[in-house]
Chain A
Amino acid sequence: MVLNPGIRVELQRTPDDANQRHQLYVQWLNARVGNPSILQLDVIWTPEFAAAGWVLPLTPYGPASSEFFPATIEANTWAGKLYALPWFADVGLLYRRTDLVPREPKTLEEMVGYARAAMSRPGGPHYGIVLQAARYEGLITGFVEYLGAFGGRIIDEKGEVVVNRPEAVRALEFMRDELYGSRVAPLDVLTWHEEEARYAFQNGNAAFMRNWPYAVAAISDTAQSKVAGKFAVSPMPKSGAAPNGHSTAALGGAQLAINAYTESPDAAYKLIAYLTAPEQMLERARAVGQYPTRRALYDDARLKSAIAIPLDDARRAIESATPRPVTPIYTELSEILQIELHRALVRQAEPQDALNSAAARINALIERTGMRKLMSGSAHTE
C-alpha cells in the first residue's frame, strides 16, 4: 500500500455462510482474540457487536458519515455512535420482464395486475411473481419491503414493538393474497431461497422477481439465461392503498468494524478508511459488481460503466433502502418473526394472530435480555 507504507495487511479466510461466520466471530470475541483486527460484519450484526463491546466506536476517528447513504449509516449506529463503515450495499430489487410487463409498476397492486396479465397471455409465464419465502432470513427482508410499502414497521423509533399494527397486518395479508388470492406467486416460494427464484426467472417462468443485485450478472448471461436483455430492475413499489406507504428496499451488505481486542486500532481504521474510499468502491464495483455506499459515486460516470444496471435505478433502490430493526437482539427477533410469518403464509395461523404472537414473543425477548433498559440508556447518550 503506497498510502500507508508502514502497514502490512494479512487476509484471514472465514466461512462464506453468514451463520457460520457469525458463530466463529462470537467464539473469537468471547475468547478476546485480537485477530483479525478488522471484522467484516453483516449489516444486521453491528448493534449486537457494539452492545457487546466487541467492536470499537469509529466516532473518535471522525469518519465522514454524511457522504454515505443515510440508511447504511443508521444500520451501523448504536447508542448514538457509529461502529462500522458500510463497505458495499446490497438492496432488494424488483426484476421485471420488459417483454411481458409494459412499464415499471408504480404500486404493489399494479404489479399484481401486470403479473396476472402476463400469466394469462398465450405462452405467458407460469408464475407472476417469484420471491423468497422459505423460513429463513430472506423472508424477513421480503417482509420488510412489503411492510414499508404499507407504512408499517417492526419496531418504531421509541422502541415499541409495532409489528402487529394494522399496517403490518395488511402487508402480511397482501403477501398471503399473492399466494392464495390472486395466485400470482406459486406456493413453491414458501420453500424457496434466492437461487430457486433466480432459476425460475432466468428460465423465463416468471414475470417479476424479488431478489438482490447479484442475480443481474447471471440473468444477463446468454449462456444460461433465456431472458438476457429482456429484463429491468426497480425498487419494490409502495402500496397504492396505504397513504403512509413508501417504496422500500431491504438493506443488506457488508460493513467494516474494528475488533475491540486488537492491538493496532489506528492502523485498522486507516485500512477501513482506505477500503471505503471512493476509488476502492469503484474498483469493487468493477471487479465484483458490488454497489458503493457513497452517494456521490452515483453521479460518477466511472460507476456507470462498472455496474450492469442503469445508475439511476441503482440509486433509487439504495435511496429507498431501509435497515432491518437496528438492535443487538436482532437475530433472535428475526427467528421469532421468521416462524410467525411462515406460519401465516402456510396458513397455519391468521396474519393478525401470527403477528400478535410475534409481538408478544419479541416483547418477552426484550424483557429477558434487559433490552428495555439498554435502549433507554442508549437514548440518553444520544
Chain B
Amino acid sequence: MTSPALRTRKISRLGHEARLGWTLVAPALSVIALIAIFPLGWTVWESLHLHELRMPWLGQPFVGLANYVEIARDPRFWAALGHTVFFTVVSISLELLIGLFLALAMNRVFRGRGFVRAAVLVPWAIPTVVAALLWRFIFESQGGIANALLVDAGILNQPIVWFIKTATAWVPVILADVWKTTPFVALLLLAGLQNIDLSLYEAAAVDGANAWWQLRHITLPLLKPAILVTLIFRTLDGFRVFDLIYVLTGGGPGTSTEPVALYTFNALLQNLRFGYGSALSVVIFSITFGLALLYVKGLGVRLGGDES
C-alpha cells in the first residue's frame, strides 16, 4: 500500500535509527569486548602455545592443539572432571531438596516469618573461605567436634581422620556446600512460590485434591522456571568450585577430591604453565558455557509454554 518513495524514506529512517542505536550501545559493547571477549580471545591464543613462565629456554612456540591433546590424555584431568560432576550433582540435589522444603515452610503465613527468612540467609552471607575454615576446624582433628558428636551418639566407635579417605573427605565438602548454599536456593524457590496464584489451590481444594496432589500438580509444575533458574546458577557455581575444596581438602587425599578449577589453578598459578593452563581454562569455559546455553534454551521453551 505504501508508495516506493515512502518506503525508501522509512527504510532510511530505520537505517538511521539503527545507526543511532549502534552508536548508543557502542560504549557498552566496547566495554564488554574489552573485559570479556579480549581476555577470552587472549586465553584461546595462549592455549595454542607452549608457554612455561619458569622455563624461558623453551621459548613460546605455537603448538596448535598440543595442549588440548595433553589434557585429553591426562588421567588427572578426567579424574578432576569426574570429581567436579560428582560434587555438582550430589550437592545440588541435596540443596534443591532441602531448599524446596525450606521454601515451602517459609511460604506459609506464620509469626516471625520475616525474621526466619533473614536468619536463614546467615550461612550464605559468610564468605566461602571463612565457612570452609569453620568446617575444616569441625572435622579436622581426631578430637574435633564432628568426631566427638558422632562418637557420643554411638554412630562411630572411635574418632576417625576424615581427610585421609576419599569417601570421608567428601563429607565435610558436601556438607559445607549444602549448609552454605541451601538458603540461597530456598530464597530463589520462595520467590517462585509467591508467584503462584493462590486461587489455583482453592479451586483444587474445592475439587477435593489433597496436599500431595496439589504439590505435584500445581506447585511443582508452576515452580519449574524458578527451579531452572536455580539449577543454572548452582550448576555453574558447582562446576567452578574452588575455594571450598582448596581450603577443606586441598584436593586430597592424593588428588581424589580435586575439581577441575583447582587442577587449573595448579597448572596456571602454581606451575606457571600458561599455555597448558589456558587450554584448561578454555575447556572449563566451554563446558560451563555449553551448560548455560542448554539451560537457557530449556528455560526459554518452558517460559514460552507458560505464556500460551
Contact = CB atoms under 8 A, between A and B. Distances in A.
A335 interface: yes
Given A135-B253, A329-B55, A342-B254, 11 more contacts: A30-B56, A51-B55, A135-B251, A190-B161, A191-B140, A328-B55, A339-B254, A340-B254, A342-B253, A346-B252, A346-B253
A374 B161 CA distance: 44
A13 B166 CA distance: 40
Contacts, number: 75
Contact of A188 (B142, B165, B250): B142
- Chain A at the B interface: mostly helix, strand, loop or mixed? helix
B165 A346 contact: yes
A26 B257 CA distance: 29
B256 A348 contact: yes
A343 interface: yes
B243 interface: no
A299 interface: no
User: Which 3 A-B pairs give the minimum distances between C-beta atoms?
Assistant: A343-B254, A346-B253, A187-B161
B83 to A, nearest CB: 14
B54 A348 contact: no
B270 A30 contact: no
Contact of B53 (A26, A51, A339, A348): A26
B107 interface: no
A186 B142 contact: yes
A335 B270 contact: yes
B141 A135 contact: no
B30 interface: no
Contacts of A328: 54-55
B164 A52 contact: no
Nearest to B266: A335
Interface of B: 52-58, 140-142, 161, 163-166, 250-256, 266, 269-272
Interface of A: 19, 23, 26-27, 30, 48, 51-53, 134-136, 186-188, 190-191, 328-329, 331-332, 335, 339-340, 342-343, 346, 348-349, 369-370, 374
Contacts of A187: 161, 164
Given A52-B57, A369-B55, A191 B254 contact: no
15 contacts: A26-B54, A52-B56, A53-B56, A134-B252, A135-B250, A135-B252, A190-B164, A190-B253, A191-B140, A328-B54, A331-B271, A335-B270, A346-B252, A348-B256, A374-B57
Contacts of A369: 52, 55, 58
- Chain B at the A interface: mostly helix, strand, loop or mixed? loop
A346 B55 CA distance: 33
Contacts of A335: 266, 270-271
A197 B234 CA distance: 39
A187 B160 CA distance: 9
A187 B164 CA distance: 8
Contacts of B52: 369
A51 B250 CA distance: 30
B272 A26 contact: yes
Contacts of B163: 190-191
Contacts of A134: 250, 252
A331 B253 contact: no
A339 B161 CA distance: 18
Contact of A332 (B53, B252, B271): B271
A190 B165 CA distance: 10
A136 B251 CA distance: 11
A348 B166 contact: yes
Contact of B254 (A136, A186, A329, A348): A348
B138 to A, nearest CB: 14
Contacts of B54: 26, 48, 52, 328, 331
Contacts of A348: 166, 253-254, 256
B272 A346 contact: no
A191 B57 contact: no
Contacts of A186: 142
Q: Choose among A51, A335, A346 the residue with the greatest number of B CB atoms under 10 Å from its CB.
A: A346
A12 to B, nearest CB: 21
Contact of A135 (B58, B161, B254): B254
Contacts of A342: 252-254
A39 B270 CA distance: 19
A339 B58 contact: no
Contacts of B166: 348
Nearest to B140: A191
Nearest to A51: B57
Contacts of A53: 56-57
A188 B141 contact: yes
B296 to A, nearest CB: 37
A252 B272 CA distance: 23
A111 to B, nearest CB: 23
Contacts of A343: 253-254
A348 B257 CA distance: 13
B52 to A, nearest CB: 7
A115 B251 CA distance: 32
Contacts of A136: 250
A53 B251 CA distance: 33
B193 to A, nearest CB: 43
A370 B161 contact: no
Contacts of B140: 191
B168 to A, nearest CB: 11
